[in-house]
C-alpha cells in the first residue's frame, strides 16, 4: 500500500494536510475493505474484470474506512485510489 503527501508544502493551502493511498486488493465474496489514517475525502476503484462495476459504501468514510463492493461472490482484484485527511 503506497502512501504519500498530495499537497503538504504550502502554508495556507486548504489541501495541505491531505494524503493519498493507492494500491490493489482482491475482493472476498464481492467486497473489499481498506482502512486509512483520517477521514476519506474521495475514493475511486476499478476492477480488473471488464464486466464488473465497483460501488463505494460511504457510510464509514468519516472513520477512514473504504468499502468497495463488486459482483456478489467476486474474488477479482481491484485498483483503488483514496484521498484522505492525514
What's the total number of domains in the chain? 1
Q: pLDDT, tens digit, for every residue of 46-69?
A: 998 988 999 999 999 999 999 999
Q: Which domain holds residue 69?
A: 2-85
Q: Using the Cα atoms of residue 14, residue 67, residue 57 and residue 55 in order, give the sign of their dihedral.
A: positive
Mean pLDDT of the chain: 87
The residues that bridge with 23 in the sheet, in sequence order, are 80
Asked if residue 3 lies in contact with residue 21, where contact means CB atoms within 8 angstroms, the answer is yes
Query: What's the pTM?
Result: 0.81
Which long-range CB contacts under 8 A does 69-73 form with residues at least 24 apart? 69/30, 69/31, 70/27, 70/30, 70/31, 70/32, 71/30, 72/29, 72/30, 73/29, 73/30
31: domain CATH number is: 2.60.40.3940
Confidence label for 4 from pLDDT (cuts 50, 70 and 90): low
Amino acid at each position: 500500500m503506497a502512501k504519500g503527501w498530495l499537497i503538504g508544502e504550502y502554508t495556507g493551502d486548504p489541501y495541505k494536510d491531505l494524503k493519498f493511498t493507492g494500491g490493489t486488493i482482491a475482493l472476498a465474496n464481492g467486497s473489499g475493505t481498506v482502512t486509512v489514517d483520517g477521514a476519506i475525502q474521495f475514493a475511486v476503484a476499478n476492477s480488473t474484470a471488464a464486466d464488473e462495476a465497483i460501488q463505494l459504501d460511504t457510510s464509514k468514510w468519516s472513520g477512514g474506512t473504504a468499502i468497495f463492493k463488486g459482483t456478489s461472490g467476486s474474488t477479482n482484484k481491484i485498483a483503488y485510489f483514496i484521498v484522505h485527511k492525514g
